[in-house]
């Protein structure tokens, strides 16, 4: 993410994007975190984690909502940020 948009992007995530993701009913909670001890030459690095009860909730999100919401992000921010998905399992 570029330094020039970072504060506005965080505000948009907190006020608009994350509430839309949670409104799908697919996730039960989230965390927005900033990576520390990372190379921030081009800008800060953030990660959003969404938690679900069953993998089917995640699958439903991907099939029904992900493309629409991701497209909104890229329409608003263009190539000023990088986005990718990783599916993780809480072990302990």
Give the chain's mean pLDDT: 95
Check if the beta carbon of residue 47 is closer than 8 Å to that of residue 86. Answer: no
* Domain extent listing, the chain: 3-77
pLDDT of residue 42: 87
Q: Does pLDDT of 30 surpass 80?
A: yes
**Four-residue CA torsion sign, 10, 36, 33, 57:** positive
Better-scored residue on pLDDT, 26 or 6 = 26
Q: Which helix (H) or strand (E) holds 45?
A: none
Which pLDDT tens digit goes with each residue over 40-73?
Answer: 998 999 999 999 999 999 999 999 999 999 999 9
How many angstroms separate the first and last alpha carbons of the chain? 31
What's the mean pLDDT in 22-40?
A: 96
Check if the beta carbon of residue 21 is closer than 8 Å to that of residue 31. Answer: no
pTM over 0.75: yes
């Amino acid at each position: 993410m570029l330094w020039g948009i970072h504060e506005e992007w965080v505000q948009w995530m907190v006020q608009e994007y994350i509430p839309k993701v949670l409104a799908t009913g697919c996730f039960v909670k989230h965390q927005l975190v900033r990576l520390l001890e990372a190379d921030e030459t081009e800008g800060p690095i953030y990660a959003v984690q969404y938690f679900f009860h069953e993998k089917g909730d995640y699958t439903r999100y991907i099939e029904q909502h992900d493309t629409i919401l991701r497209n909104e992000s890229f329409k608003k921010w263009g190539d000023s940020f990088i986005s990718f998905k990783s599916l993780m399992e809480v072990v302990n």
